[in-house]
Structure 1
Amino acid sequence: MNVRAQPILGLAGKAIRKGTLLATSTWWCYRLKRIGVELGSNVTIIGRPIVSVYPGSTVTIGSNVVLCSDSRSTALGVSKPVTIRTLAKGATISIGNDVGMSGTVICAAKAVRIGTACLFGADVTVADTNFHPIAPSMGRRYAPIPKSEETDAIEIGNDVFLGAGSHILKGVAIGDGSVVGAKSLVTRSVPEGSIVAGNPAAIIGSVGDTR
């Protein structure tokens, strides 16, 4: 192959991939609207997400949100697609404007509310339910999802960074500007501007100290 032709072919390949991603994103936005998701403007969907809306529940995704389920399109790659699911009537998932997610799982039996300008590293999990009862009255295998309380709701503030592989459990509130270290298990609320890490996550610093 002519050496001079290689850059041209490379540019053509990039243009084709960009066009394919745009077309795929447009189709997924249409698909999500068809199943009842409320979408803002300029939402970008890369890869094939899994989204389900329980009857009588709501899922809202703000403007300029990016949902990435394709390892080729994010530095760390992802082990699974973005998964967004409401699990009960009345449940709510709300994602604010300018949020980026890669391989993120969000499940809500009550409510998961996410502010603006948040960044979710690869393979973050946010779930406001235990999925299975701790002490079931019947066999554990067939017990239904436990009834949710208002205190189970998860609140994630504005400009929050959740490190890769972190897990946010029910009842947690994370204050504006906070950072959660990779692989952390967050079981308690996090004050504004805090840096937390570990299992269970504990405060190890303040964002203000790093500036």
Structure 2
Amino acid sequence: MIALIRYVLATVLHTQRYLAPLLLFTGLMGVLTVNGSGPLPPAYASSAGALFVSSTWLTVALMSLDDPPQRAIVVITAGGRSLRVLLAVIATALLSCLVMMVFGLLFPLWTGDHVVTATDLLLGFEAQLTCALVGIAIGVLCSGQVFRRRGHALVTALTLVVVALFAKSVSPVNRLFTLMATTPEATRLLAPAGALLTISAVVLAVCTAATHFVAGRRD
């Protein structure tokens, strides 16, 4: 698995497909969190939202690194286990998101005027990880392994992102943002944020299983 993750990382660094999602993340962070003040939960909701959109784009890019012949070679090299290759891509996306999460936690503190506590930082971590998992789930499901045409994949991804952001009580992302926007005390948000984090992990597992099933039927 480590060798597969290193392969995916080397490929994405060589192709520079990480640049657009990374620039989108930093741009959204600059617009949404600069010169903020007051309680930290709303600021961390903004950084989590930026990571959600960026993680979706990044995962789609990672899933499309190899064309079908190259992907077949990678699967054979991995012992014929296509699920192992898929999990390596997901692990790479998650590792990349963890790096962005550090920036998402610290940047609002640097550019704004906030009183920070350990509870605030833990809440920010939970919020960003929740959004990253849902974003990765959408990116996996809207990849070329599921959709033959990129246009269909793009429309589906945009639709799911909009639904996750704005449809009330449909996704853990919207529920999380609602809680963080209306409850300024981080201590009251830790438990519900933890529950939403668990739900997001289940969403990722379901989308991974669905993608593996569809790709297996095609192969």
- TM-score scaled to structure 2, two decimals? 0.26
Q: Indicate the structure (1 or 2) with the bigger Cα radius of gyration.
A: 1
- TM-score scaled to structure 1, two decimals? 0.27
Q: Which has the higher contact order (CA 8 A, sep 6+)?
A: 2
More helix by share: 2
